[in-house]
Amino acid sequence: MFIVRLIKARNRKIIYVHLVHSSHKVNHSKNTFMKNVLQQLIAKNKEEEMAYSASRLAEQNHPKTSNDRRNFLKRTALGGMALSSFVAYSFEDTISETTSRVNRSSSPSELKITDMRYALTNVMGGTAIIRIDTNQGIYGLGEVRDAADVRYALFLKSRILGQNPCNVEKIFKTIKQFGGPARQAGGVCAVEMALWDICGKAYNVPAWQLLGGRYRDKVRLYADTPEASSPEEQQRLINFRVQDQGYTWLKMDVSIGELKGIPGTIVNGKIWEDANGNLSQWGDMQNSMSYANTAHPFTQIQITEKGLEHLQQVVENVRNMVGYEIPISTDHYGHFDLNNGIRLAKALDKYRLAWFEDMVPWQHTTQWRTITEAIETPTTTGEDIHYLENFKPLIHNRSVDIVHPDLASSGGLLETKRIADYAEEFGIAMAMHQAGTPVSFMANVHCAAASQNFLALEHHSVDLPWWENLVKTVGGFKMIDKGFATVPLTAPGLGIELNEEVVKKHLHPSDKSFFKSTDEWNKLRSHDRTYS
């Protein structure tokens, strides 16, 4: 029989194949078979080596190849030895060379960050993808959280130039001080994503492997479902997600916006309406006294019994359309205090919703615990929390049943994995918020694959037909299949490359530049240490 042993030598994987018969005699036919296989491998590898050498020479001679990259190619010209040159070597060493997965276009210990550039996509009203380049031609993709200012990332360029991108945690600890709640952490997280993408490409392994391995081969998604103008339109949106796309988890808004124009449903609402008569949670962000900028406990809006009955009917209609096999999460109720939040939650408890999300601001840890203890439906918050230290009060106090980080705010892949692991110790599950491009989506997929207490990941762009086409998957795997994201099992880094022509078609009108030079952000102008 064949016995396959894995050993480590010279910092690479060697597969040692030992041919043994049960009577300790070498089986001649099996040995002959293996030699034939080896000859085929040698022939195939020789062809690949010729093509590989030709591609390296072409890159070396290309006028746009940088001097650093050209010197690297010359220096490593002997790195890829043809298998045919190993014919006289031992069987074990030949197999080792055949199966080695070393990325011969990379020397990780010599990697240096040389540039950062961006493209502003039209996803979520302007979401920037950044690209971090290195001296060896390997680059990484990251994303500044949905609709956040790309300057949150560009500001960090001068602080990472010349660094080895594989020192991810070291760089993260250097720049994390420049991140804050919600989208203020967008730059730090974008850089962290891109670093893991580079590191995975350099070592030729998927990002989940660098996080400690995976628990799952596919990641369950929950599909965001917007409010509809009629029950018929709501049914169409649901059918598209469940029947056409195969999603097994949905999320809906249960907003007091549904009560617009219905007399006797809200107390104290009129004074907060905008020019269009809406209680808009995303209104005039420059007006500190607007409804959009007033935290929930401070509006004194209340929902009447008539209003509760109407919102009950909205949820019952959706539950009847969906059935009880599919979880339904809820969000965006409006800005009102915990008392009205509890009243609304109790009115909807009977519909067995998956969770109530962001009923009050995340900072109000004690209020969250009051809500959680008062209702039967699970509670969750976290999409605007940055870093593990700010999740700890919620977790320690068991203020919520589920933590809900947005990886583009919570610190990137490793920090979000740490949040998941910490919550798991307290018996708290993790769902993941995501409303960006496929770049942050795939970063979330890798983190979700590596986290045991994971429930579901949000997909916010189900209705954008071009969204998936912004990238190409490495190896051609299907990014989303029947309501689940595919975990790349072999593709290095995040497992995607930009589909540049599609990205160019969907740039934001305010900035049509496409990875233009950002040299104005190269110079470091401050001393950043936070202590004396």
DSSP string over 426-494: TT-EEEEB--S-HHHHHHHHHHHHT-TTEEEEEE--TT-TTSGGGEEETT---SEETTEEEPPSS--BT
**Does the structure show a pLDDT above 50 at 18?**
no
Lowest mean pLDDT among 6-15, 76-85, 239-248, 450-459: 6-15
CB atoms inside a 10 Å sphere around CB 392: 15
Lowest mean pLDDT among 50-54, 98-102, 356-360, 518-522: 98-102
CA end-to-end span of the chain: 66
**Does the structure show a pLDDT above 60 at 15?**
no
* pLDDT computed for residue 526 by the predictor: 92
* pLDDT computed for residue 7 by the predictor: 35
Confidence of residue 156 (pLDDT cuts 50, 70, 90): very high
* Burial tier of 88 (Cβ tally within 10 Å: 0-12, 13-18, 19+): exposed
CATH code that applies to domain 111-205: 3.30.390.10
Confidence of residue 5 (pLDDT cuts 50, 70, 90): very low
Three-class secondary structure of residue 402 per DSSP = strand
Would you give the DSSP letter of residue 309? Answer: H
* pLDDT computed for residue 228 by the predictor: 82
**Does the structure show a pLDDT above 50 at 21?**
no
In this predicted model, which residue has the larger pLDDT, 142 or 31?
142
**Does the structure show a pLDDT above 60 at 390?**
yes
Three-class secondary structure of residue 398 per DSSP = coil
- Residue range 100-129: mean pLDDT, rounded: 87
The per-type count for the chain, helices as H runs and strands as E runs, is: 17, 19
* pLDDT computed for residue 361 by the predictor: 97
Three-class secondary structure of residue 369 per DSSP = helix
Mean per-residue pLDDT over the chain, rounded: 88
Give tens-digit pLDDT for 283-330. 777 787 899 999 999 999 999 999 999 999 999 999 999 999 999 999
Give tens-digit pLDDT for 227-258. 888 888 989 999 999 999 999 999 999 999 99
* pLDDT computed for residue 83 by the predictor: 43
State the Cα–Cα distance between residues 497 and 243, nearest whole angstrom.
Answer: 30
Lowest mean pLDDT among 21-35, 126-140, 334-348, 493-507: 21-35
Confidence of residue 95 (pLDDT cuts 50, 70, 90): very low
CA torsion angle for 352, 355, 360, 361 (degrees, to 10)?
180
Confidence of residue 38 (pLDDT cuts 50, 70, 90): low
Three-class secondary structure of residue 382 per DSSP = coil
What is the homologous superfamily of the domain 210-263+302-502 according to CATH?
A: Enolase-like C-terminal domain (3.20.20.120)
3-state helix, strand, coil in the chain (%, to 5): 40, 15, 40
Q: Which tokens in the block code for residue 26?
A: 């070498």
In the chain, CATH 3.20.20.120 covers 210-263+302-502
- ∠ Cα 466 467 472 (to 5°): 95
Give tens-digit pLDDT for 424-479. 999 999 999 999 999 999 999 999 999 999 999 999 999 999 999 999 999 999 99
In the chain, CATH 3.30.390.10 covers 111-205
- Residue range 214-220: mean pLDDT, rounded: 98
Confidence of residue 506 (pLDDT cuts 50, 70, 90): very high
Q: pTM value?
A: 0.82
| Count of all residues that appear for the chain in the document | 532
Would you give the DSSP letter of residue 142? Answer: E
